Structure 1
Amino acid sequence: MARLRGTRGGAGLRRKPPAGRDPLPPGRGRRRHRRFCACSRRLPAGGETLAAQARARDLSAANAALLDAFCDALWLEDGLSKNTLESYRRDLAQLAAFLQRRGLDAASESDLFSFLATRAGRASSAARRLSSLKRFYQYCLRERRVAADPTLRLEPPKPARRFPKSLSEADVEALLAAPDPKSALGLRDRAMLEVLYASGLRVSELVALRTFATSLDAGVVRILGKGAKERLVPLGEEAVDWVRRYLEEARPRLLAGRAADALFVTARGAAMTRQAFWHNIKRYGARAIPGKSLSPHVMRHAFATHLINHGADLRVVQMLLGHADISTTQIYTHVARERLKALHAKHHPRG
């Protein structure tokens, strides 16, 4: 529920007091060739532009064209991932539907406040939705589509502090042992789990791994992460051994003579998807550690927490995870401290 500053309510939106003239965001140089523009407009189902699907999605032609131009700018300037671009499109298409075919560039602060107030959900979802709107109207202001930024006085809710779920080292060992390495699919899944735990990759980074970006002799993989930022991540001997075994024994059987650049492939020879791996890890988790809520990101949390538990420097963990801001990484120090407190309380005679 939306709220004004000073009223009660945990997940509500807030308005800032007036702060003078709207600043014009500085322009950015275009860093990508125009041939990539069409890619930024593709929708998951058909690959058509928003303008082509305007009628089906109840968007006016003007709104659809404006969204296409905005998505082009995001692709060219920031190299945002497909998933991030889809989130922007979805949020703004919902706003366009709320405005009932009025122009997105004609929305007022009150319109946006009402739109956000009608969207139920967690504080984190409300904050993400407002972030989409702010980015869009900053673009419109820069392109002189609006005279003032209607989001300037809107503030995101303050979400309750949440700490990431993690797994104990024993839980991780049980999960890693769940796939049957005697089968090609089981060997592939074991190798994927080993890489995930050894490197702390995001699941999107894991399924996007290519054979040419993997150096088993050097024991590293080259990752193209968020914002098109590249980093080298070590794998460790155990993960390298499992990947090498997968490449020698399982991958040729799965490809059956077909060519593929993807490191991890399906039984049909296609690249693994986030959804398929998410399903697999849930299935293995239910078998190996029942009662634990599992997702690929929980393994990333386990990677970071276990490194810190064993004395790793926070800056090193930040670099391995690909975090732009160390404050994102610092939350794992709290998780590690809480774990130590729990162990002390459990095992100390006066705990």
Structure 2
Amino acid sequence: MEKTVHEFIYYLNVERGLSENTLNSYLRDLKNFLEFLNQQGVTKWQEVKRTHIMKYLIFMKEKGKASATVTRNIASVRSFFQFLLQEGMISENPSTDLETPKQEKKLPEILSPQEVDKLLNQPDTTDFKGKRDKAMLEVLYATGMRVSELISLNVEHVDSNNGYILCKGKGDKERIVPLGKMAIKSVSDYISKSRPQLRKNLSEPALFLNHHGKRLSRQGFWKILKKYAEKIGIKQKITPHTLRHSFATHLLENGADLRAVQEMLGHSDISTTQIYTHLTKQRLKDVYSKSHPRA
């Protein structure tokens, strides 16, 4: 049964070109489902019934899994059974018309422009690592790119003269995103003065390097961000995605076109971008409630 799961992951990789993170998510979800089925005494995919999947839903809820986690798991299971049906491995799809729990729409956490300024001014730019950190934070806020996209950047992807950066997103889709003056200055400063000190191998293409001279990892960036967030005393939970959310919200608050923001974020569906319009409306409502004498 596990072999079939890996065949499905291979199919998603080759046929649909999904990102490594998405593939890992599918694999994790299906391994958890497989483990549950083994406990139920199921030894073949052909033996799986609708009742097994319903029991798995109840099992996850009893384990205290969030609605979003349960929904994602069931989506993975549903896609997997569609694949099995398509490949002729099963004659009926037991996951058809499954009801998944309604997700609570949580608005993303963002920083105020003042908090972003404080955060971006934390790195000590007299130090070569500080120059790198400053450049990374500036690029992340200037472009709204994902951390996976940030750390996958190569030096050749930066066009400082024209103020653009080439970003490779989900499914290896490329997009060109403009860089602001502050980000261009910080990146140029890092490339000319700091990166040569971090680089150990002249053929290393990665833009942002760790102290070993290798490409910086997601975990490495997360530690850097957490350190600076603690320095300025940000009490809310801050993640690398917080700057992406802040980027989108601040653009829309200042009159940016929703389609333009969608393109810069690399969203394939504009409905994903629309969450930020709800956020700007909520912020306006909060400001009104605090400021208007008869609110």
Instruction: Say if 2:267 and 2:273, in contact at 8 Å, map to a contact too.
Output: yes
The equivalent residue for 2:113 is: 169
Give the 5 Å matches for 1:58-73.
Answer: 63-73=1-11
Q: Deviations over 1:196-253 (max 9, x none)?
A: 0000001111111111222111211111211222211111111011000000111000
| Ranges in structure 1 where 5+ consecutive residues have no aligned partner | 1-62
Give the 5 Å matches for 1:107-118.
Answer: 107-118=48-59
The equivalent residue for 2:129 is: 185
- Superposition deviation, residue 292 in structure 1: 2.5
Give the 5 Å matches for 1:1-351.
Answer: 63-100=1-38, 102-119=43-60, 120=63, 121-351=65-295
Question: Residues of 2 paired with 1:237 and 1:112: CA distance?
Answer: 53
Q: Deviations over 1:139-163 (max 9, x none)?
A: 0000000101111021221111211
Question: Residues of 2 paired with 1:88 and 1:341: CA distance?
Answer: 39
Question: Residues of 1 paired with 2:266 and 2:10: CA distance?
Answer: 25
Q: Which has the higher helix share?
A: 2
Instruction: Say if 1:258 and 1:269, in contact at 8 Å, map to a contact too.
Output: no
Instruction: Say if 2:67 and 2:102, in contact at 8 Å, map to a contact too.
Output: yes
Instruction: Say if 1:96 and 1:104, in contact at 8 Å, map to a contact too.
Output: no
Instruction: Say if 1:285 and 1:292, in contact at 8 Å, map to a contact too.
Output: no
The equivalent residue for 1:49 is: none
The equivalent residue for 1:60 is: none
Structure 1 213/106 Cα, relative in aligned 2: closer, same or farther at 3 Å?
farther
Give the secondary structure class of the aligned counterpart of 2:274.
helix
- Superposition deviation, residue 259 in structure 1: 2.8
In the comparison of the two structures, how many residue pairs are matched? 289
| Aligned amino acid, residue 85 of structure 1 | L
Question: Residues of 2 paired with 1:343 and 1:289: CA distance?
Answer: 23
| Aligned amino acid, residue 108 of structure 1 | K
Instruction: Say if 2:2 and 2:34, in contact at 8 Å, map to a contact too.
Output: no
Instruction: Say if 2:201 and 2:213, in contact at 8 Å, map to a contact too.
Output: no
Q: Deviations over 1:242-294 (max 9, x none)?
A: 00000011100001454311110101011111111111111110111331221
Structure 1 105/270 Cα, relative in aligned 2: closer, same or farther at 3 Å?
farther
Instruction: Say if 2:45 and 2:90, in contact at 8 Å, map to a contact too.
Output: no
- Superposition deviation, residue 68 in structure 1: 1.9
| Aligned amino acid, residue 268 of structure 1 | H
Instruction: Say if 1:105 and 1:140, in contact at 8 Å, map to a contact too.
Output: no
Identity of aligned residues (%): 40
- Which 10-residue stretch deviates more, 223-232 or 70-79? 223-232
- Which 10-residue stretch deviates more, 334-343 or 165-174? 334-343
Instruction: Say if 1:106 and 1:146, in contact at 8 Å, map to a contact too.
Output: no
- What is the root-mean-square deviation of aligned Cα atoms in Å? 1.3
Question: TM-score scaled to structure 2, two decimals?
Answer: 0.94
- Which 10-residue stretch deviates more, 297-306 or 286-295? 286-295
Instruction: Say if 1:96 and 1:103, in contact at 8 Å, map to a contact too.
Output: no
Give the secondary structure class of the aligned counterpart of 2:80.
helix
